Structure 1
C-alpha cells in the first residue's frame, strides 16, 4: 500500500513515525512550509519534515503554500493508494479527496467536537473519557464516515501538552490498524444530529477571573502551554492546583502562603498558584511577586 502522509506538528510526527516503523510504504510527505523562527527569523521545519530529513531523506517532501493545480499534479505523480491526514492545517480540495481515499485522524470521539480545537474542548468539558477517531474524509469538516475509534478512561488531570502526547500514540496505533484492515472495515456514518463544534483558539480565550476555581483550573489545563491563563490586568498564572470547588470567598482574596505558592479564593472554590508573571516581566514565584507588590494575606490579587 502506497501511503501519502499529510501533517505538520509533533502530534502528526508521532503518527508518521509509527506508520514508518510498522513498514508502510510512505511515498511522500505534504506539510506546511518552513516558517521564520526566533530573533534572526531562521527557517524552522515542521516536526514531520524534520523527522523525514533526519531519518528517511529519500522520501519526497512537498511544502505547498496551498493545494493548487501544481500541488495536485505533484501529489498525483506519487501515485498514493491512501492519503493519511493528521493535523495538516489546511482545508483539502475535492480534487485531492477524489484522488485516493483520505483518512483523517481527529482528536476527539466524533461527532463530538468537530473543528480546530477538540482536545482543548475535551479538557474544558472535564470529560471522563478521552479519545480519537479515524474518518474517511468528505467535502465537509470532520463529517466523514467513521473507520475507527480509540479511547481511554481519564486517570488523572491532563493538560493539553500531556493529553496530546498520549492521544498521538493512541491515534498512531489506531491509524496503523485502520490502514492494515481497511478492506474489511465497514464505514459507520456519524450521528450528525449529535454533532458539537469547536473553534480555533485565540489568545483572548486565556482570559480568566476568580469567579469559579474549577473553570480557571480547566482553562489552565486546556490552554497549556498556549495561550495560558491570565487576569484582565494581564497577570499570567502558572502552576495551578484546584484545592476546593465549594468554599466561598471574595474574588481574588489572598488566603495564605503555601511554600513559594499562594492560595487564592474565588467566589466558588480555592486555587493554589505557584508562579505569576506581570506583563513585560519575568515569571517569578507567587510569594516573590506578592512581596514585590507589597501584597499581604487578605488583599486582592488582580
Structure 2
C-alpha cells in the first residue's frame, strides 16, 4: 500500500522509520516543516524526518503553508492509500483530508489533551496513565473519530523524556497496525463534552516558586530538559525529587544539608535538590553551589 507521511520531530521520525521497514508499505512521499536555523550560529538544519526520508530515497516536500493552492494541487497528484500524520505542525486542508484517509497519531487518550503538549500535560496533572490515539483526521484540532487507543501506566517518578520514548514505541506499532488493518476498525466519534486542551510550551512555563512541592515536582517531570525549571533569580533546578507534599513550611528555606543534596521547604511540602545551574554558568552539584554562596540551614535558596 502507498502512504504519504507527514511529520517533523523525533516522535515522527520513529514512526516513519517503522513504516519504511514494514513489508507491504511503500512510503511514496514525506511532508515536513522547512529547515530552520539552530543554535547560536543559526545553522540551517533539516528536520530529522527529512534526513531519514532522503536516506531512503523518498521524495521530500517542505511547504511553508500546506494550505496554499499550488501545494495542495501538487500533493493531490501523488497517488496514495493513506496519509499518516504525526506531529507535523500544520493544519491539513479539506482537499487533502479527502484525498485519502488521514490517520493521526496523538500522544494522549483523546478527547483528553487535544493540542500541542499532551505528554507534558499528563505529567503536570500527575496522571496515572496516558496513551496514544490513532485518529481519523477531520478539519478540527484533534477532534476526529477514534480508530484505536493504546494505553500505558505512568510511574510516579517518570520524566518527560522517558514517557516520550515509551509513547513513541507504542505509536510506531500502533501506526502499522492501523494501516494494515484499517478496514477492520470502525472509527468512533469523540465525546466533545469530555474534551480538554493543552497549549504550546514556552520558556516562561519553566518559572517556579517554592509554593506547592507537589506541583513543582510535576513541573520538573514535565519540563526537563526543556524549558527546564528555574527560580526568579535564574537558578535552574536540574535534578530534584519530592520529599513531602503536605507539611506546611517556609518557602525556599534550607531545612537539611545532606551528603549530596539539600532539602528545601515549600509553603506546602518539601523537595530535595541534587543539581543546579546558576544563570550563565555550568551545571553543578547543589552542595558546591550553597558552599559558594555560603548558605546553611535556615537560609533561603530563592
CA distance in 1, matches of 2:54, 2:292: 48
Name the SS of the counterpart of 2:247 in structure 1. Answer: coil
SS in 2 for 1:43: strand
Deviates more, 1:105-114 or 1:236-245: 236-245
CA drift of 1:284 comes to 1.6
SS at match of 2:141: coil
Deviation at 1:82, TM superposition (A): 0.7
Residues 228-267 of structure 1 aligned to structure 2 (within 5 Å)? 228-267=228-267
Instruction: Please list every run of 5 or more consecutive structure 2 residues that lacks an aligned counterpart in the other structure.
Output: none
The aligned residue for residue 117 of structure 2 is 117
Tell me the SS of whatever aligns to 1:250. coil
Partner of 2:10: 10
Aligned to 2:225: 225
Q: Which moved more, 1:121-130 or 1:278-287?
A: 278-287
Which residue number corresponds to residue 37 of structure 2? 36
Is the 2:154–2:163 contact (alpha carbons within 8 Å) kept by the matching residues of 1? no
Instruction: Determine if contact 2:86/2:104 at 8 Å carries over to the other structure.
Output: yes
Q: 1:244 offset after TM fit, Å?
A: 1.4
How many angstroms does 1:250 deviate by?
0.8
Moved more, 29-38 or 189-198: 29-38
1: CA distance between counterparts of 2:238 and 2:155? 22
Q: Residue 234 of structure 1: CA displacement?
A: 1.8
- Relative to the length of structure 1, the TM-score reads 0.96
1:154, CA displacement in angstroms? 2.4
Residues paired across the two proteins, number: 300
Q: Please, which runs of 5 or more residues in structure 1 have no aligned partner?
A: none
Contact 2:276–2:284 under 8 Å retained in 1: yes
235-244 or 156-165, larger mean C-alpha shift: 156-165
User: Equivalent residue for 1:46?
Assistant: 47
**CA separation in 2, counterparts of 1:229 and 1:82?**
40
Contact 1:260 1:288 in 2 (8 A): no
Structure 2 residue aligned with 1:62: 61
CA contact (8 A) 2:126 2:156 kept: no
Deviation at 1:156, TM superposition (A): 4.6
Q: CA deviation at 1:282?
A: 2.1
Provide Cα deviations, 1:29-68, integer angstroms capped at 9, x if missing partner: 10011111234332211111122233x1x21011111111
Worse-matched range after superposition: 122-131 or 32-41: 32-41
**Aligned positions of 1:87-98 closer than 5 A:** 87-98=87-98
State how 1:266-285 maps to structure 2 within 5 Å. 266-285=266-285
Question: Following TM superposition, by how much is the alpha carbon of 1:134 offset from its aligned partner in structure 2, in angstroms?
Answer: 0.8
Distance 1:20 1:87 in 2: 18
Distance 1:53 1:270 in 2: 50
Distance in structure 2 (CA, Å) of the matches to 1:157 and 1:85: 30
Distance 1:157 1:52 in 2: 35
**Separation of aligned partners in 2, 1:240 and 1:185:** 44
Correspondence for 1:212? 212
Superposed displacement of residue 72, structure 1: 1.6
Matches of 2:127 and 2:136 in 1, distance apart?
25
SS of corresponding position for 1:291: helix
1:93 CA displacement = 1.5
Give the CA RMSD over aligned residues. Answer: 1.3
